[in-house]
Amino acid sequence: MNWYGRSLASGCLAALAGLALLSAPAQAQSYPTRSITMIVPFAAGGPTDVISRIVTAHMAQTLGQTIIIENVVGAGGTTATTRAARAANDGYTLITGHMGTHAASVPLYPKLAYHPEKDFEPVGLLAGTPILILARKDLAPKDLKEFIAYVKANAEKVNAAHAGVGSVSHVSCQLLESILAVKPISVPFNGTGPAMNALVGGQVDYMCDQIVNAVPQIKGGTIKAYAVATPQRNPSLPDVPTTTEAGLPAFQAQAWNAIFAPKGTPADVVAKLNAAVVKALDDEGVRKRLLDLGSVIPAAADRTPAALGTLVKSEIAKWTPVLKPVN
Amino acid sequence: MGDIFSNLGLGFGVVFQLVQWTPAFLGGASIPIPVNILLCLIGALVGTLVGVLPGIGTIATVAMLLPITFGLPPVGALIMLAGIYYGAQYGGSTTSILVNIPGEAGSVVTALDGFQMAKQGRAGPALAIAAIGSFFAGCVATVLIAVLGAPLTKLALAFGPAEYFSLMVLGLIFAVVLAKGSVLKAIAMIVLGLLLSMVGSDIETGASRMAFNIPELADGLGFATVAMGLFGFAEIIRNLDAGGESDRELVQQKVTGLMPTRKDMIDSTPAILRGTVLGSILGILPGGGAVIASFAAYTLEKKISKNPQRFGRGAIEGVAAPESANNAAAQTSFIPLLTLGIPPNAVMALMVGAMTIHGIVPGPQVMQKQPELVWGMIASMWVGNLMLLVINLPLVGIWVRLLRVPYRLMFPSIVIFCAIGIYSVNNAPVDVILAGAFGLVGYWLIKHDFEPAPLLLGMVLGPLMEENLRRALLISRGDWSVFLTRPLSAVLMAIAAALLVLAILPSLRKKRDEVFVESEN
């Protein structure tokens, strides 16, 4: 599913609406008058945190106010997201949500204290990190086709690793398994580090993970990558084919990060924040740092609040059938 | 060998690098500033401070200070963060010894004999030997990283789930040996610790366990929360109890000599050496390596001591060995990060984040691609350890003087610092309330001669044990023989079995009683 190329027309319309809003009301001129708190639902230093910091540093210049990052960890990011949902909707508390907190959490946590669509105003998409299919370096299959045949033939023997229930590596592996219609044993680890350690050490056979964590290991030859689950190859790994090229077009996944505001945040404030996001994503310095991480920067049409709203809806629809059987 | 010298030369070159600073007020003249040395010093100082303040752990501090390092050059930033990490290992022993509050999992065992030494007026020698042991261990571990970093990485990779489980089983047997009172009570405490560690989310399904629908419990009980309650708050309640105050005054009057005596040094030297070796090896293992190292070092000292009944009553070896071990382990835990780019614990994961933000994503090639970063960090560790020794030895006098502060002034400040520390871990008020509740539980336990140390070890080992057991059995498809067919795992199991047999054999029973069961008075 290609969310960058989708609903181009509606995206453009929303962009126009956003521009119209930006130029009009006087209230938006005064916002922001004090510092803004950006809740990051994961630990400092993780992919979501790094992307948030890179973009918000530029946004702070545009908005003329500091943006304070507050890392609130716990329960797969849902603790922080619950807090953000209940925060004042004045535009001074925002959250960097991602694929887990604002889509996969819906089927994963039946007692979720918020709903990504009902409790949040989408502000803007920041960046996506593509998912790779990775394997230990001495696993027999040479390419994705052989790998698929191997997993199907040896479902009893194959072990997959993931970084914990609800993590990006967990939900993307679930998607891969549902597409291949196999059920290998999946071994849970506490975070990407230990899971990667097990893959490098050859304790497990394969895993799906975000490109940021995997590029140095692939380049160092300690693990191998079969494919990247995006429509285009990634500049940081030009030799790794896409899933479409390698014969599994159905497997498309990337971890996206986006800014959300509590429901009811005034439209002019949202528009002003969105404009700051868009400006940051056009900045050469910001772009270079995001691309260095292997991230994919959204195209102009995918940067509007409306496009983000559509993305959240489609992602919930995408993950719900895949993850429901887990619980 | 020549390679190592040229690499270390490169590293020290980076550490002693001078940056020309040309401030406007000097009118064009520039002053050379050794930026990296200064950052190392700041890191070491902040680390010591963090270690001394009870509750504020390394992870919380590194996470809080991470954004500040974004403006620094990457080498300097990492040198500073590394300084905080091992500085906290030095500082962590201070509260363990002075007020019986271990700030880090690694300094729980230090409290056992360290606090007893302080009660006997020997806080000075205890603090000094902790600093000296840590310095020695730090130096050895630094050389080890430089010389054997790459080959040792293989050990970290050979450790799969089965090996970890076997290591944790061994760890539990260490926990029994920790006890100075009844073995049965120690076992009860370990089991209670294991049960407490089960609170939270199931690793395989994500289902909530024993959390009673309290969202704050969804990620389990924090180590700092339980440790502050059982050690810190319980100790305070006990001191305020009748008789406690006079006990404290006794402490204040008896203070003798700040530095270790000749006999102390002779007693501690072998303990420091053994602690360093154990810590260096166990530190390489991702996960609980450093914690197990300090417990293992203490156990080893108690086992081979000629009169083990001294342990738990102020034996200086009981401070020297675990402090050397946890510092060596803190240092060697950098090996997987520097050689493989894989963070072995939460603090290292934050350091990876720091590198990522600076555009360096660490991986197996980091040593070839960023030699000045890797060797600069290794060299800075040795410099940092020297600084810490220089900082800490004079501080001993100040810390000991703190003990003279009247207890009615001291206990409210301890309570406040603990509360701030606990709150800062997750920014959660519930944690502070829980620590208070554990304080009451801890008081009851003290009154009934149950010791909190085995409980904490159980809590640390519990999740590692459960997760690795389940991983190992998932991978082996439920075949239990995996723990005996993998050679490393089999060796660890054999050691554990041997220790157990030693305790059970009827002919040795009498001896075991001498080792374990010693009445309090």
Per the structure block, which two tokens stand in for B222? 């924090």
Distance, in Å, from the CA atom of B171 to the CA atom of B184, rounded to the nearest integer, reads 17
Q: How many beta carbons lie within 10 A of that of residue B93, not counting itself?
A: 32
All residues of chain A having their beta carbon less than 8 Å from the beta carbon of residue B159 are 201
Best of B59, B335, B471 to substitute, by most chain A Cβ atoms within 10 angstroms, is B471
Both A51 and A89 in a single domain? yes
In a domain, A282, yes or no: yes
* CA nearest neighbour of A175 among A229, A102, A125, A247: A229
Q: How many beta carbons lie within 10 A of that of residue B269, not counting itself?
A: 15
pLDDT at A15 over 50: no
Give me the residue label for tokens 């521009």.
A19
Both A115 and A261 in a single domain? yes
User: What is the pLDDT of chain B when averaged over all its residues?
Assistant: 81
Q: With CB atoms and an 8 Å threshold, state whether B467 touches A44.
A: no
CB A242 within 8 A of CB A233: yes
The length of chain B is 521
Both A157 and A299 in a single domain? no
pLDDT at position A46: 77
pLDDT at position A23: 43
CA triple B121-B125-B128, angle to 5 deg: 140
In a domain, A18, yes or no: yes
Both A265 and A300 in a single domain? yes
Both A222 and A308 in a single domain? no
pLDDT at position A275: 93
Q: How many beta carbons lie within 10 A of that of residue B384, not counting itself?
A: 31
Q: How many beta carbons lie within 10 A of that of residue B357, not counting itself?
A: 22
Residue that is last in its domain, among A246, A267, A282 = A246
When pLDDT is averaged across residues A164-190 and rounded to a whole number, the result is 88
Q: With CB atoms and an 8 Å threshold, state whether B365 touches A200.
A: no
Distances (CA, A) of A170 to A94, A173, B80: 26, 5, 34
As for the ipTM of the complex, it is 0.79
Helices (H), ranges, B370-447: 371-402, 407-426, 429-447
CB B280 within 8 A of CB B332: yes
Q: With CB atoms and an 8 Å threshold, state whether B63 touches A196.
A: no
pLDDT at A132 over 90: yes
**pLDDT digits 0-9 by tens, A32-64:** 888 899 999 887 777 888 889 889 989 999 998
pLDDT at A312 over 60: yes
* CA nearest neighbour of B279 among B173, B385, B134, B150: B134
In a domain, A75, yes or no: yes
Residue B341 contacts A where some CB pair is shorter than 8 Å: yes
In a domain, A300, yes or no: yes
CB B394 within 8 A of CB B351: no
Residue A314 contacts B where some CB pair is shorter than 8 Å: no
CB proximity under 8 Å: B 418-437 to A? 426-427
pLDDT at position B1: 53
Residue that is last in its domain, among A224, A246, A268 = A246
Both A172 and A280 in a single domain? no
Spell out the domain ranges in chain B: 2-63+79-112+124-236+263-516
Both A34 and A98 in a single domain? yes
**pLDDT digits 0-9 by tens, A80-110:** 898 899 888 889 999 999 998 999 888 888 8
User: What is the pLDDT of chain A when averaged over all its residues?
Assistant: 85
For residue A97, list its beta bridge partners.
A258
**Which of A53, A79, A200 is the closest to B215 by Cβ?**
A79
Q: Residue A5 corresponds to which amino acid? A: G
β-pair type (A185-188, A159-162): parallel
Residue that is last in its domain, among A216, A246, A276 = A246
| Domain coverage including residue A102 | 8-128+255-326
DSSP state letters, B288-311: THHHHHHHHHHHHHHHH-S-GGGT
pLDDT at position A5: 41
Q: Which residues of chain B have pLDDT under 50?
A: 506-508, 512, 515-521
β-pair type (A254-262, A93-98): antiparallel
Both A155 and A298 in a single domain? no
For residue B19, list its beta bridge partners.
B33
CB A274 within 8 A of CB A282: no
Question: How many distinct structural domains can be found in chain A?
Answer: 2
CB proximity under 8 Å: B 249-288 to A? 286-287
* CA nearest neighbour of B159 among B282, B57, B37, B266: B282
Categorize the per-residue pLDDT at A1 as very low, low, confident or very high, splitting at 50, 70 and 90: very low
* CA nearest neighbour of A96 among A256, A259, A303, A255: A259
Both A259 and A178 in a single domain? no
Distance, in Å, from the CA atom of A64 to the CA atom of B68, rounded to the nearest integer, reads 20
Both A84 and A71 in a single domain? yes
A98 phi and psi angles, rounded to 5 deg: -145, 180
Residue B218 contacts A where some CB pair is shorter than 8 Å: yes
Q: With CB atoms and an 8 Å threshold, state whether B361 touches A196.
A: no
Which chain B residue lies closest to A73 (C-alpha atoms)?
B426
**pLDDT digits 0-9 by tens, B164-219:** 899 888 888 777 766 666 778 888 998 999 999 899 888 787 778 888 877 778 77
- Interface size between A and B, measured as CB pairs under 8 A: 140
Q: With CB atoms and an 8 Å threshold, state whether A220 touches B356.
A: no
Q: With CB atoms and an 8 Å threshold, state whether B357 touches A45.
A: yes
Q: How many beta carbons lie within 10 A of that of residue B428, not counting itself?
A: 20
SS (H, E, C) chain A: CCCCCCCHHHHHHHHHHHHHHHHCCCHHHHCCCCCEEEEECCCCCCHHHHHHHHHHHHHHHHHCCCEEEEECCCHHHHHHHHHHHCCCCCCCEEEEEECHHHHHHHHHCCCCCCCCCCCEEEEEEEEEEEEEEEEECCCCCCCHHHHHHHHHHCCCCCEEEECCCCCHHHHHHHHHHHHHCCCCEEEECCCHHHHHHHHHCCCCCEEEEEHHHHHHHHHHCCEEEEEECCCCCCCCCCCCCEHHHHCCCCCCCEEEEEEEEECCCCHHHHHHHHHHHHHHHHCHHHHHHHHHCCCECCCHHHHCHHHHHHHHHHHHHHHHHHHHHHC
Q: Residue B208 corresponds to which amino acid? A: S
CB A47 within 8 A of CB A79: no
In a domain, A110, yes or no: yes
Q: What is the pTM of this model?
A: 0.80
pLDDT at position B449: 87
When pLDDT is averaged across residues A221-236 and rounded to a whole number, the result is 92
Both A226 and A78 in a single domain? no
pLDDT at A124 over 90: yes
Q: Give the rounded percent of residues in chain A with a pLDDT score beyond 90.
A: 46
Both A162 and A271 in a single domain? no
Cα A154 from chain centroid (whole Å): 31
